[in-house]
């Protein structure tokens, strides 16, 4: 007996993505049973383009990443959700694989290899590929930690692994890479500052100059040498170098936040 095909919702989270939303939706249109766009109050034509391509559009201003993603997934009509951002495209191999595996699975989610680009260069080394991410899941059994940056996932059930790639046009160029790194370190510092208000002991253990320096050296060595980032040449060096700076830059911003808020209280 032929197994019934499981219906799938694709959820896309956007913010001023008029130059990329069209290709993103086209990559899943005709394959997904439902396409939902949750837009963070874009000032450009993102929402109109998404609606014109048949997506259901909801508007919500992002507050905390984990909260925002959980809210977005709750809008899906189907239990199985494939989550993509506007800069991500599932390959044809992956789409075929997903449709097949969902016909008969006991897993609650699946991790998927990501092929990430800076500009037109695919970063293959330094731990970037396959860079598995959980993007396919049963919404009733899946939840993001409700924190501002790098939220963890909680899954009630086992996780399978797929072979097909998601193509991730994460950074338009090096300027975009630097800008996003700057934003992420600001969010990281804010997260630890808020934690310091409720659990100062834990914050002090993680956010101190010695820990920051150790993480800086450790990240570069692991990315460039252990995980062979050098095989990506100049791009590999840049990725390893700026990845290593993440912790110490976050620490510097964390110190600034503490100083500013301490001065306010005086």
- Asked whether the beta carbons of 32 and 90 are under 8 A apart, the reply is no
DSSP of 152-207: -EEESS-EEE--SPEEEEEESSHHHHHHHHHHHHHHHHHHHHHHHHH-HHHHHHHS
Q: Is beta strand 56-59 parallel, antiparallel or unpaired with respect to 133-138?
A: unpaired
pLDDT in tens, 188-205: 999 999 999 999 999 998
pLDDT tops 50 at residue 113: yes
For each of the domains in the chain, give its residue range(s) and CATH number, in order of start. 8-171 (3.90.550.10), 174-264 (no CATH)
As a whole number, mean pLDDT of residues 113-137 equals: 97
As a whole number, mean pLDDT of residues 121-134 equals: 97
pLDDT tops 50 at residue 2: no
pLDDT in tens, 133-190: 999 999 999 999 987 777 899 999 999 999 999 999 999 999 999 999 999 999 999 9
pLDDT band at 1 (very low <50, low <70, confident <90, very high): very low
Q: How far apart are CA 37 and CA 56, in angstroms?
A: 6
pLDDT in tens, 6-61: 999 999 999 999 999 999 999 999 999 999 999 999 999 999 999 999 999 999 99
As a whole number, mean pLDDT of residues 229-256 equals: 96
Query: What confidence score (pLDDT) does residue 147 get?
Result: 78
* Mean of all residue pLDDT scores within the chain: 95
To the nearest whole percent, how much of the chain has pLDDT over 90? 91
Dihedral (CA of 38, 42, 47, 49) sign: negative
Q: List the one residue out of 129, 142, 152, 148 whose CA is nearest residue 76.
A: 142
């Amino acid at each position: 007996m032929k197994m019934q095909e499981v219906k799938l919702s694709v959820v896309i989270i956007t913010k001023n993505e008029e130059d990329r939303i069209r290709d993103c939706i086209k990559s899943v249109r005709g394959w997904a049973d439902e396409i939902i766009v949750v837009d963070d109050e874009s000032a450009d034509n993102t929402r109109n383009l998404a609606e014109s391509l048949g997506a259901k559009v909801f508007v919500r201003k992002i507050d905390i990443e984990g909260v925002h993603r959980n809210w977005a997934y709750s809008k899906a009509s189907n239990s199985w959700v494939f989550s993509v951002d506007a800069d991500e495209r599932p390959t044809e191999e992956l789409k075929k694989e997903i449709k097949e595996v969902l016909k008969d699975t006991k897993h609650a989610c699946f991790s998927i290899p990501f092929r990430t680009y800076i500009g037109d260069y695919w970063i293959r080394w330094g731990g970037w590929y396959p860079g598995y991410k959980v993007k396919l899941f049963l919404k009733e059994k899946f939840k993001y930690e409700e924190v501002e940056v790098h939220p963890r996932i909680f899954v009630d059930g086992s996780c399978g692994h797929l072979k097909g790639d998601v193509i991730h046009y994460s950074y338009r160029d090096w300027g975009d890479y630097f800008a996003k790194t700057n934003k992420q370190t600001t969010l990281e510092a804010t997260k630890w500052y808020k934690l310091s208000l409720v659990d100062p002991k834990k914050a002090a253990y993680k956010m101190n100059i010695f820990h920051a320096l150790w993480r800086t050296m450790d990240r570069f060595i692991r990315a460039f040498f252990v995980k062979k980032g050098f095989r990506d040449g100049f791009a590999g060096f840049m990725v390893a170098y700026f990845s290593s700076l993440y912790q110490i830059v976050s620490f510097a911003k964390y110190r600034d936040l503490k100083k500013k808020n301490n001065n306010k209280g005086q």
